[in-house]
Every structure is written in structure tokens, then in C-alpha cells.
């Protein structure tokens, strides 16, 4: 059987043969944000289910595809639909989409998510830049044999969320008049929402927001040496902090309400994003 590296090469070759491009930035779009990528310039789409070896979602209504196109003179590859651990994927499958985008040339990642708030300082509708994360999923997508062509056995996670990109993001948000805090995202396995006791615990551990994505993706991206910018959209108060119980429609409704603000920030972040000049091979 071919290695994960060879399979990611095959997958990237397939995507390239349908949408020839070398992306500057990979973008993972969280709940309610997928439509943003439909409006990319010269956009084309590649369905995950058509890509050899690509993990296809078991969850209904999660079709999933790459949108490849341009925005503000930059080439983007955006994931419309992502792979979650709670769907039952093995670690290498969770890593696969990131590795495909990296094989295509993406060296930067903007990752977005919908998240619950862990304290009164963050309310539904607020946007938070991710400064750091806590991996509370109990899993790591890099567990198992390491292929050094992807990265080192023991990746450093000290500056997982790039300090320069965060500084620039704050300036971009301020210029747009968008209030943007900064904090720690806690990644859970899911699919249950947390208990009120867990929400209290996660806050005391230093978390500001909680969700079921992002952490595995950022671990894989850092292993690959990608620069990462992460954004949480607070869609609900964590369990026990609000009046009622939690359900997915509340998450969806808030994501819809904040959509315009989130999209204008994302768009401005792409515009401002510093792309390292290609090394001169001549």
C-alpha cells in the first residue's frame, strides 16, 4: 500500500488536474461560512468524493468540496466542509485534506470555526482571534508512524498561531471597526456538547472558547510548517452559562447573524495577508 505521503501527492495531482493552481493560502470555512468561497474570482470546485483517497463525510448534508480561485490577487484553496474527529475518522484521515493543500503549495492557513463561550466576557456574535489552543480531544492526528517528508516527529507548538499574523489581524479588524478579542480555544472530541461542569473546568484551565474542530487541523498544519491564523465565531454560551439548553440550530442562527461581519473580516484578512516571495530558482 502506498504511504500517506504518496497518497497526498496523488490527491494533489487530482485536484491540480481539475483546477490548475498553486494556492498561496488554504482557508477552512466553519459553520455558515462556506458560501464565501463561492464568490472567489475564477472559482472552480473539486468534490472531496471525487478525490482518490479523500475521507468522505458520513454525515448527511456535509457534501464537502474544495473551492479554488483568486481573491485580491491571491490564490486560495478553501474547504467547504471539513473533517471532524467526532465523525469517527482515524488520525491520518483528519490530516489528509491539509496535506493535500500543502502538496498543492499552500504554506499558509486561515482556519475558522463556530464555538461556545466559556465565560461572560464573550457573548454570542463576538469574534475571537485564537492566540493558542488546548487539545482536549484525547487524540492527536500525528499519532502513529512519522514521515519526515511532512515534518518532524515532535513538532513545536509554542507559536502555533502566528504572532505576526495576529498583530496584523487586529489592525485589519480595527480599520474595519470590527471588535476582535483574542483568547484560547479548547478543542473537544464531541459530538456531545459539554456539561455545565465541563464548561467550568475548561474555563478554569484557561480556555475562552470551545468547539469540536480546528485543533487537529492546526496540529497537522504546524507539522507541515504552515503559518496559521485562527478565528472563532462565538455562536452560543457554553452549557450552563446561558438560560436554556444547547442545540445546533442556535449555533447555526448566530453564525448566520454574524455572517456579514465575519465575511468582511475574512476578506480583509486575505487582502492583507503577507505572502512570502517564492525563492528565486533561476
Name the site residues for ligand HPA (rule: CB under 6 A): 114-116, 188, 193-194, 210-212, 235-236, 238, 246, 251
Q: Is 269 helix (H, G, I), strand (E, B) or coil?
A: helix
* Rounded Cα–Cα distance for residues 97 and 83 (Å): 8
* Closer CB to ligand HPA, 183 or 238, in the complex: 238
Q: Could you tell me which of 92, 143, 107, 116 has the C-alpha nearest to residue 31? A: 116
CB of 31 to ligand HPA, least distance (A): 7
* Closer CB to ligand HPA, 85 or 212, in the complex: 212
SS3 content of the chain, % helix, strand, coil (to 5): 35, 25, 40
CB of 211 to ligand HPA, least distance (A): 4
CB of 243 to ligand HPA, least distance (A): 14
- What the block records as the C-alpha cell of 70 is 483568486
* Closer CB to ligand HPA, 146 or 252, in the complex: 252
In the 8-state DSSP scheme, what is residue 216?
H
Give CA 257 to chain center in angstroms.
20
CB of 202 to ligand HPA, least distance (A): 9
Give CA 232 to chain center in angstroms.
9
CB of 30 to ligand HPA, least distance (A): 9
* Closer CB to ligand HPA, 98 or 118, in the complex: 118
* Closer CB to ligand HPA, 92 or 116, in the complex: 116
CB of 181 to ligand HPA, least distance (A): 17
Please say whether the beta carbons of 51 and 81 come within 8 A. no
CB of 158 to ligand HPA, least distance (A): 26
* Rounded Cα–Cα distance for residues 9 and 3 (Å): 10
Q: Which residue is nearest to ligand HPA (CB)?
A: 116
What element of type H or E holds 204? helix 196-204
Please say whether the beta carbons of 70 and 41 come within 8 A. yes
* Closer CB to ligand HPA, 77 or 115, in the complex: 115
> 125: how many CB neighbours lie within 10 A of its CB?
16
* Rounded Cα–Cα distance for residues 187 and 178 (Å): 25
* Closer CB to ligand HPA, 114 or 226, in the complex: 114
Amino acid at each position: 500500500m502506498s504511504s500517506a505521503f504518496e497518497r497526498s501527492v496523488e490527491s494533489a495531482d487530482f485536484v491540480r488536474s481539475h483546477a490548475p493552481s498553486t494556492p498561496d493560502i488554504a482557508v477552512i470555512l466553519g459553520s455558515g461560512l462556506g458560501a464565501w468561497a463561492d464568490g472567489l474570482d475564477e472559482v472552480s470546485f473539486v468534490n472531496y468524493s471525487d478525490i482518490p483517497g479523500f475521507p468522505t463525510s458520513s454525515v448527511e448534508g456535509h457534501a464537502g468540496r474544495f473551492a479554488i480561485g483568486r481573491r485580491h490577487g491571491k490564490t486560495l484553496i478553501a474547504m467547504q466542509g471539513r473533517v471532524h474527529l467526532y465523525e469517527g475518522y482515524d488520525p491520518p484521515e483528519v490530516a489528509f485534506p491539509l496535506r493535500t493543500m500543502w502538496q498543492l503549495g499552500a504554506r499558509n492557513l486561515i482556519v475558522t470555526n463556530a464555538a461556545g463561550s466559556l465565560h461572560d466576557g464573550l457573548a454570542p456574535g463576538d469574534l475571537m482571534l485564537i492566540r493558542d489552543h488546548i487539545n482536549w480531544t484525547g487524540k492527536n492526528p500525528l499519532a502513529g508512524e512519522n514521515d519526515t517528508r511532512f515534518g518532524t516527529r515532535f513538532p513545536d507548538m509554542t507559536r502555533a498561531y502566528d504572532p505576526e499574523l495576529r498583530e496584523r489581524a487586529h489592525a485589519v479588524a480595527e480599520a474595519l471597526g470590527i471588535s476582535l478579542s483574542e483568547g484560547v480555544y479548547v478543542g473537544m472530541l464531541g459530538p456531545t456538547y459539554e456539561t455545565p461542569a465541563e464548561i467550568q473546568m475548561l474555563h478554569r484551565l484557561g480556555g475562552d472558547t470551545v468547539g469540536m474542530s480546528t485543533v487537529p487541523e492546526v496540529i497537522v498544519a504546524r507539522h507541515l510548517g504552515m503559518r496559521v491564523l485562527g478565528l472563532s465565531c462565538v455562536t452560543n454560551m457554553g452549557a450552563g452559562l446561558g438560560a436554556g439548553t444547547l442545540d445546533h440550530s442556535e449555533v447555526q442562527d448566530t453564525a448566520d447573524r454574524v455572517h456579514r461581519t465575519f465575511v468582511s473580516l475574512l476578506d480583509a484578512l486575505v487582502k492583507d495577508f503577507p505572502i512570502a516571495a517564492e525563492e528565486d530558482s533561476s
